[in-house]
Structure 1
């Protein structure tokens, strides 16, 4: 049966597409802690890197629409907490994470724990407005749970002294920072409930970092506040600081001083009552908006998976990948061409006439030198032979005979006279001696 007509036989493209949909639809959003490695930021503005731990790693992509919200510059070797959705890069079949947000590990972990506990307690109804106890309009005694040396206690006492000096205050000193602080705060709340000597409790401290305020985000503190029979005002940090205790408490005050104003009586107590109700409304509205924001975020994630921008993100990542492959291919092509060019240059140099000419010039020079040497040897031999011939010729030469006193007589025609009958009167005779000659006439 042909593969195209059998729905049970997958193509590679179809398989990767199905796996991608399974990952994106089934897993949803995940939180992940890991170490960044192989970080790269191409000109497209997207980020690509790997998150790893001691035993495994996963590839990640963070598109520029999300990474522009990151407040720090990621570096290889840095520990981070990321919020991501699972996906699959279909062209290579690579399982990967699409990062939506990133934080340094320390702050990120605390923020994640904060969000998880807030959602869990909200789901249990601890933040519900129906569980809030009303504050007494005219408290007879106020309890303060905070550090006995902190600035928050002095701020509260200053406000109470200024607004209502007659209002009794009971201080339940406790740690408000560091290890064991959450247990101590819970114990102080329990002690106040056991004594039952106050109408309202202020629980809080001054401002600080997320880590400094973390004891007010612990579950034990939240559940102790929720179980308290005495109304509690949460007064932790500054206006911008928000803790789990703020959501569970019967009232949230933006600062410890504001909490003191809420429980103290003066001519503006009616305004305070209105403010209490406004704060309650604010807290209820804020919680409602947070719940709606969470639901909207879930819907946005579902919409994003169907949005054209999601497809553009995948195509943009594919484009970056193709660009890297093209660059590698071009570099390899150039290297191969350079190697081939070098080989051809070597061959040209080996076959170049200049080399042959140089060799033949050298050979010619050597042959010329050999010829000169041979001519010199031949000249010496010839000189020696001439000397020998001259010596032999000298032994038979008539000149030698003349030197011994003999002479040669010739006619003027050059004929040598050897017989008297060859001479007649009037002939001119030339007699050659060893030194010179004598001319005579026959009479």
Structure 2
């Protein structure tokens, strides 16, 4: 019992691998329409994007082997129609789609609707050769379902006039372009059948874009042609234009003029028979291709699933993912390193001798100012003290006494003469008075 339980225990890797296999094998090819966002195109050449609508989104990848076929450069916000297969990116467990083809939504949507209707009607047997009528060998009257003002009618009538002027023609005019054209075409075909005036119908118009020819890709027109009791020749556009009406009609003519040649007699009945057989063979070939195209697509899909390219694509996506993670890790490391360097530079600036010298210069400037102030105060104080001492000195100075009329007499050696006995005739004397000195010589004592 424990062994059975252990068999049902999955690893994450095994679970993701199983889910991927289920998605790729069960869902197959899907068509999606949505808006592009988060578009990226790394150097590997692959495209990665998100496809979204108003309520949901899904991740998508388109590898370079396929995106080289895309005729435009995808842009964020662009509406597109894509053909893709479901898958799972195992390393992250992300559900995703692998895009096989991409088209702008307008043209792509019409092409998708064309393919869907063709597959639906083919499945119902509307293209089957067993249901197709043979064209009358010698038509008695030809009906034409087209615009009464179009070039196609002019071309058909010119050919009929040149090849078989006696052949009666009935025109069932109708719109061949626009939203209401399909209903008008179906009504014209129905009118021809109800009146039963002709034994072959040419239904068509001149060439144009897929949108211009769209009324001939309408289901109601297809079913009306299928239900017609009168053989119908589809003559829509040019030879390269293909519509649903071509597949349902009894015979497809490459152009309106070619349709007129099919129904008109000329001098070569064998040539006409050959052309009829040729177009019948072409119709059978188209039916065969239509019947086997889906089977071939399924076989191609199964073959592609075994192709090493898909494994290589998954490995390439894994490489892109790791490259992106490595780039983010490098950026984080660089950011961390830059922050560390910035912090170290800040700390270095805090310890820089330039800042200390600037600080010491500032302190020295302050100390110098303080010293000058102290010296100034000390000088003022000394001057004051000097003034006081000078005043005191003046009070005891002999100069003050001299200024009151007294004098001091000294000999040449500077000895003060106190008595007459201190001198003798001939001595040189210096008498100091208030405003100077008087020199004299002793004549008698």
Same-fold call, TM > 0.5?
A: yes
- Tell me, what secondary structure is at the counterpart of 1:210? coil
- Residue 381 of structure 1, CA deviation: 2.6
Which residues in structure 2 correspond to 1:116-127 (within 5 Å)?
Answer: 116-127=116-127
Kept after mapping to 1: 8 A contact 2:156/2:256: yes
Which residues in structure 2 correspond to 1:221-232 (within 5 Å)?
Answer: 221-232=221-232
Which residues in structure 2 correspond to 1:223-302 (within 5 Å)?
Answer: 223-302=223-302
> Greater shift after overlay, 85-94 or 221-230?
221-230
Distance 1:207 1:428, change over 3 A: same
Distance 1:228 1:392, change over 3 A: same
Residue of structure 1 in register with 2:395 after alignment? 395
Kept after mapping to 2: 8 A contact 1:411/1:427: no
- Residue 180 of structure 1, CA deviation: 2.5
- Residue 219 of structure 1, CA deviation: 1.6
Kept after mapping to 1: 8 A contact 2:424/2:442: no
Kept after mapping to 1: 8 A contact 2:412/2:430: no
Residue of structure 1 in register with 2:323 after alignment? 323
> Greater shift after overlay, 328-337 or 203-212?
328-337
The CA deviation string for residues 48-92 of structure 1, in whole angstroms up to 9 with x for no partner, is 111111111111111111111112222121211111101111111
- Tell me, what secondary structure is at the counterpart of 1:6? helix
How far apart in 2 are the matches of 1:174 and 1:232? Answer: 16
- Tell me, what secondary structure is at the counterpart of 2:208? coil
- Tell me, what secondary structure is at the counterpart of 2:59? strand
> Greater shift after overlay, 410-419 or 187-196?
410-419
Which residues in structure 2 correspond to 1:408-419 (within 5 Å)?
Answer: none
How far apart in 2 are the matches of 1:193 and 1:439? Answer: 180
Residue of structure 2 in register with 1:105 after alignment? 105
Residue of structure 1 in register with 2:71 after alignment? 71
Kept after mapping to 1: 8 A contact 2:84/2:100: yes
Residue of structure 1 in register with 2:337 after alignment? 337
Work out the number of aligned pairs and report it: 441
Distance 1:272 1:416, change over 3 A: same
1:186 aligned to 2:163? no
- Residue 278 of structure 1, CA deviation: 1.1
How far apart in 2 are the matches of 1:412 and 1:150? Answer: 157
Kept after mapping to 2: 8 A contact 1:407/1:431: no
Distance 1:411 1:110, change over 3 A: closer
How far apart in 1 are the matches of 2:23 and 2:84? Answer: 12
> Greater shift after overlay, 382-391 or 48-57?
382-391
How far apart in 2 are the matches of 1:209 and 1:45? Answer: 33
- Tell me, what secondary structure is at the counterpart of 2:380? helix
Kept after mapping to 1: 8 A contact 2:47/2:63: yes
Kept after mapping to 2: 8 A contact 1:144/1:202: yes
Residue of structure 1 in register with 2:136 after alignment? 136
The CA deviation string for residues 365-386 of structure 1, in whole angstroms up to 9 with x for no partner, is 2322332333233223323322
How far apart in 1 are the matches of 2:407 and 2:159? Answer: 171
- Tell me, what secondary structure is at the counterpart of 2:85? strand
Residue of structure 2 in register with 1:95 after alignment? 95
Residue of structure 2 in register with 1:25 after alignment? 25
- Tell me, what secondary structure is at the counterpart of 1:209? coil
- Residue 335 of structure 1, CA deviation: 2.2
- Residue 412 of structure 1, CA deviation: 7.7
How far apart in 2 are the matches of 1:353 and 1:169? Answer: 110
Residue of structure 1 in register with 2:198 after alignment? 198
Distance 1:190 1:398, change over 3 A: closer
Distance 1:439 1:398, change over 3 A: farther
Residue of structure 1 in register with 2:15 after alignment? 15
Distance 1:130 1:395, change over 3 A: same
1:304 aligned to 2:307? no
Residue of structure 1 in register with 2:61 after alignment? 61
Kept after mapping to 1: 8 A contact 2:409/2:432: no
Kept after mapping to 2: 8 A contact 1:409/1:429: no
- Tell me, what secondary structure is at the counterpart of 1:266? coil
- Residue 174 of structure 1, CA deviation: 1.7
> Greater shift after overlay, 249-258 or 355-364?
355-364
Distance 1:431 1:109, change over 3 A: closer
> Greater shift after overlay, 116-125 or 397-406?
397-406
How far apart in 1 are the matches of 2:423 and 2:310? Answer: 149
Distance 1:404 1:103, change over 3 A: closer
- Tell me, what secondary structure is at the counterpart of 1:343? helix
- Residue 414 of structure 1, CA deviation: 6.7
1:210 aligned to 2:196? no
The CA deviation string for residues 253-294 of structure 1, in whole angstroms up to 9 with x for no partner, is 001110000110111221121111111112222332343343
Tell me, which stretches of 5 or more residues in structure 2 are unaligned? none
- Tell me, what secondary structure is at the counterpart of 1:229? coil
Distance 1:194 1:106, change over 3 A: same
Residue of structure 2 in register with 1:34 after alignment? 34
Residue of structure 2 in register with 1:163 after alignment? 163
Root-mean-square deviation (CA), in Å?
A: 2.7
How far apart in 2 are the matches of 1:308 and 1:10? Answer: 26
